[in-house]
Each structure stands twice: as structure tokens, then as C-alpha cells.
Amino acid sequence: MIVLVTGAFGNIGTSTVTELLAAGHQVRCFDLPTRANRRRAARFGDRIRPFWGDIRRPQDLAPAVTGCDAVIHLAFIIPKMSTTRLESESVPELAHSVNVDGTCNLLDVIRMQARPPRLIFASSMHVYGQTQHLPPPRRVVDPVAPMEHYARHKIECEEMVRSSGLRWTILRFAATFPLALQLDPGMFDVPLDNRIEFVHTRDVGLAVTRAIECDAVLGKTLHIGGGRACQYLFGEMADQLLEAMGVGMLPTQAFSIIPFGTDWLDTDESEALLHYQRHDLRDYVRDMVALLGPRRQMIRLLRPFVRAWLLQRSLYYRRTQPRGWTRGIAWLRWVFGAAT
């Protein structure tokens, strides 16, 4: 199949492109022509066909869509851990133009095709809002109650997709962390007792790839998560990740106490149809340890300073400390590279 991936060089995009190529598909990649995206595209060499453009411009989308059998729509400005360094909650007007108007443009271009390709739309568990007071897991029939611009954009786009007249599938993803040294201060917004489900980015890529090959998922909304083995309280997950990186678990007061929009998901149907749950959090931890390489030992040696630097990025922790409790540690940035 000829498959177009929008947002192809982000976290999930890169994993999806990798799985599509492994499955033998011809892959087209649509993304912004940034230096970072061109560098990521170069890693795939001539195995992909890149299309550079802006999803807000239908004329940029048309050449990429023409002749495709399937479109996987991932391009979205997200609230946390974004490879673009833009956050939907900080730039809501820009986010709406990219997320909602961009999706509308894509649907219009797809409908213009002589044989419209099938569409996979990437949504999120964030659409359910705060659900910690409800018994888990979340099911796709549960009511949506968005708390942020990002989730509202996802819901608006889901509604457009369902009424588009196209062959569609909507996949709502669990927490999918990038395989990158990216210590985002957004982690402090999640309470330690908040339920959260992890799914490995490679498993998401596999699920999306298998979804374009499976007619049984047409017209369905499905959860994509790691399954029961990947359901944690956030504190359990944070402890494993921070210990593996050599930092160690951070104080409780560094984290919010306001319930966050994550939860455990019912993934029985998606796993039965797509058979994608291959990894768990332990695999992700091993991947991150390998990615850190010798820098992990450096972090261990500088652990007190690294912890101070991280805590300085927590608004919640700063509020509990006397003024001037620590200074910026700019010289540590080289340890983390892109993580800062």
C-alpha cells in the first residue's frame, strides 16, 4: 500500500514509519521542513518519500495525498513532551489552526480524490478529562469531558472524521513517551497517585500499521494502550524511570495534587484485532538506559546537582522552598543535550 503519514517525524510518527517500512509499505512522510525533521528524514534514506509543507495549506497536502491507499493523521500540537517545543496550552490559537483547521484541510483533500484513501486518526485518552473518581478502566463509550485545548481539539476532530463520509478508524492513545532524552517539566503536573497507562511508542507504531490492513477496525474508535501489565500509578512509573536514569525518585512535593487527565484503558478489543502489545515499561527503561549510554554514569556522579536542576523546574516544589533556595545550573545542560 501507498501510505501517507502526517507528522511523520515526531515521536509516534517515527515509530509508525519504521513499522510501515518493516511491513513492506510505500511510505510518504508529510511534515514541516525544519532542520530537525530533515535530519530525522535522512535517517530513513531513500526508503521514504518526504513531502515538506504546512498542514494549514491545502495546496501543500494535495501532492502528498494524491494516489495514496491510506492516510495516517498524526500531525498535532500537543500539550507536553512535544518534539516541536510548542505546547497547545501555551499557543491555543496556533494549536487550533494546526490541529482543527489542519485536520479539516486534510479531510477535504482526501475527499477530492477519485478513490479516497482510508484514514487513521490519532486521538488521545485526554478526551475523558479527570476520571480518577471513577472506577477504571475507561471504555470508548464513556462520555468525554475535555479539560484542555488539546483534548477539545481531539474531540472536534473526531466528530469531523466520523461525519466525513470516508473510511475511518479513530485510535485513542495511552501515554506514549518518546525514545529521547527529554525530561519535560510537564511530568510534575501528574499526581503520584494518578492512574496512568503506558504504551511503548513502537507498539503504537505497530498498532497503527496493522490498523490500515484490518477492515474489521473500519468505523471503530479503539483504545491503544499497553494492557493490564502497563497500568500504574504515576509515582510507580516515575520511580522506575528516574531510578533507571540515575537521578532517583524526587520529593512528593515536586508533584501536583490536582487529578490529571490520564487513566487505565480497556484495550481488549484493539489487542484482539491488532495484536500489537509486545513491550512494557521495563523494555522502555532498558531502551532509555541504552540511549543514555555513558551519560548515565555522569548523571550518577552529578546526582545532587541534577536533582536540584530538575526540582528547579517544578513550580510545585519552588512554591514550598524559601526564595533563592537554588540557582540555575546552566552548565548541566550538556549532560542532557536535547532534554533541555
CATH code of residue 156: 3.40.50.720
CA-only gyration radius of the chain, Å: 20
Inter-axis angle of helices 35-44 and 11-22, nearest 10: 20
Q: Which of 25-34, 37-46, 179-188 has the lowest mean pLDDT?
A: 179-188
Which parts of 182-225 fold into alpha helices (H)? 201-211
CA–CA gap between residue 163 and residue 97 (Å, rounded): 20
Which parts of the chain fold into alpha helices (H)? 11-22, 35-44, 58-65, 92-96, 102-111, 149-162, 201-211, 234-244, 268-274, 281-292, 295-301, 303-312, 315-320, 333-336
Name residues whose C-beta falls within 8 Å of residue 175's C-beta, 6 or more positions apart in sequence: 125, 196, 197, 198, 199, 262
The pLDDT of residue 339 is above 70: no
Backbone angles phi, psi at 125, to 5 degrees: -65, -15
Q: Which of 128, 150, 284, 317 is catalytic?
A: 150
150 annotated active-site = yes
pLDDT tens per residue, range 124-142: 999 999 999 999 999 999 9
CA–CA gap between residue 155 and residue 234 (Å, rounded): 25
Q: Is 38 left (phi over 0), alpha (psi -120 to 50) or beta?
A: alpha
Query: According to the model, what pLDDT value does residue 82 have?
Result: 58
Backbone angles phi, psi at 126, to 5 degrees: -60, -20
Q: Which domain holds residue 283?
A: 2-339
Confidence class for position 337, pLDDT limits 50, 70, 90: very low
The pLDDT of residue 13 is above 90: yes
Query: According to the model, what pLDDT value does residue 85 have?
Result: 65
pTM, two decimals, is 0.92
pLDDT tens per residue, range 287-309: 999 999 999 999 999 999 999 99
CA–CA gap between residue 285 and residue 109 (Å, rounded): 40
- For the chain, how many structural domains are there in total? 1
pLDDT tens per residue, range 205-221: 999 999 999 999 999 99
